Chains A and B, each alone.
Chain A
Amino acid sequence: MNYLASIGAYAIMVREVFKKPTKWRIMRALILKEIDELIYGSLGILIFISFFIGGVVAIQTALNITSELIPKYLVGFATRQSIILEFAPTFCSIIMAGKVGSYITSSIGTMRVTEQIDALEVMGVNALNYLVFPKIIALLLYPFIIAIAMYVGIFGGWFAGVFGGFSTSADFVTGVQLDFIPFHITYAFIKTLVFAFILATIPSFHGFYMKGGALEVGKASTTSFVWTSVVIIIINYVLTQLMLG
């Protein structure tokens, strides 16, 4: 029952976010700030992780090919498929639930416990629009960093494959280009956009409606990370079934 009430409260929150918009001049500045914080600020960690995950996927695949009958270009193929379909969109989003999600929950939660949100509301500002809307808009750019993560991941696979002696560059590139299905990219980016919305709103929900003090802000961040990840994993399953199944 409690979960149902939370889902209801979440839906009401999302609707409020789009009501009574803040002046564009102020909103524009907020959006730019969030792009800097949420998108640009996450680029480094996502590039780092993608490169090494790509490398590990390539090595694992190569080590598991023991039969001479399996073509060598499979390393490139397997790397591309796993990076594009899962590692870049889903794995990176779980990382983002930790990085961006806890930032969002703790910053909004701190504003709640220090009455800054009350201060906004007293002035007649729609606090949800002011705080959450710019995050949703900034995260519309999330697919761009996921595209970069895909590119870097495959490059990481190539790097590990070629320099680790698991594959030749030509074989790897052949594999990467093999049987390319454009719809997989569409699928990956639709997932990414849905995850972006989840990443902006669920942590905001946990911060905005929290009660208590500094200790509770920490707890809310943890809870928010767990819920954001759980929802991402479930939505990932549902979308995969719907779009590829």
Chain B
Amino acid sequence: MIEVKDIYKSFGDAHVLKGVSATFEKGKTNLIIGQSGSGKTVFLKCLLGLFTPEEGTIAYDGKIYDELSGDEKRNLRQEMGMVFQGSALFDSMTVEGNVMFPMEMFTKQSRPEMQDRVDFVLRRVNLVDAHHKFPSEISGGMQKRVAIARAIVMNPKYLFCDEPNSGLDPKTAILIDNLIQEITEEYDITTVINTHDMNSVMEIGKKIVFLKNGLKEWEGTNKEIFKTDNKAVTDFVYSSELFKKGSPDVYRGKELEARSLKNEKSS
């Protein structure tokens, strides 16, 4: 569980986070949604310790980050996995090299042990034939799978994903969302996902935090999001591609589901 209390983060005059609090639960896919530029990435990077908030605290299973010693912080870092927006795979390494990298850096395991673990996580993300390919030689969806494999290879307690399905076609996006959800539940990870994709919201939005102008505008589940009266949220929800005419097939089921929820709300 991650508890964020009243964090502020600014860059010069730009106040990006203006007092955000939220709780993210274990074994669940927690979503942060909001328009581009609403501070989702900055928020996630605060959770990762890449940015230090000027005010407020972040507690990981009760341990407050600011109160940890250097060593404890380092240990905590190693319990975190991150899937970056563009996958951020190391270009100079093969798929296998990328996934093995954290183990090579931080464990004393033997080569065969590491190899076993790499084979296991790559199989877990349904990637079998790509061990010796370079990131530039595989598709965006496969790159995402490798990024997920690299993020979970050290058995993290916390998994962070920044727009995990941006740049993917809708079908692949759903597969990636489902994969993240399965892994989260299977290994009981506290997962926090940034997205502006309504499809993800409906698919895996167990807990949703809506950011707007550096503040938490709304909080709830994917069932509740269609019932809220909050104008900012409804604007965001119904401006989605999903509710436009001529959306791709994969959306259609979701669209009906959403319509029925909307009707339910208005009736």
Contact = CB atoms under 8 A, between A and B. Distances in A.
A118 B84 contact: yes
B105 A122 contact: no
Q: How large is the interface on A (under 10, 10 to 19, 20 to 34, 35 or more residues)?
A: 10 to 19
A115 B49 CA distance: 15
B110 to A, nearest CB: 13
Contact of B50 (A110, A111, A122): A122
B74 A124 contact: yes
B10 to A, nearest CB: 16
A17 B79 CA distance: 25
Contacts of A118: 45, 50, 82, 84, 88
A129 to B, nearest CB: 12
Contacts of B80: 122
A26 B50 contact: no
A123 B91 contact: no
B259 interface: no
B78 A116 contact: no
A42 interface: no
Nearest to B85: A115
Main secondary structure of the interface of A (DSSP, over half): helix
Q: How large is the interface on B (under 10, 10 to 19, 20 to 34, 35 or more residues)?
A: 20 to 34
B227 interface: no
A118 B84 CA distance: 9
B88 A26 contact: no
Contacts of B105: 22-23, 26, 123-125
B241 interface: no
Nearest to A33: B92
B74 A119 contact: no
B77 A124 contact: yes
Contacts of B45: 118
Given A123-B105, A123-B106, A124-B106, A116 B90 contact: yes
A26 B89 CA distance: 18
Interface of B: 45, 48-50, 74, 77-78, 80, 82, 84-86, 88-91, 101-102, 104-106
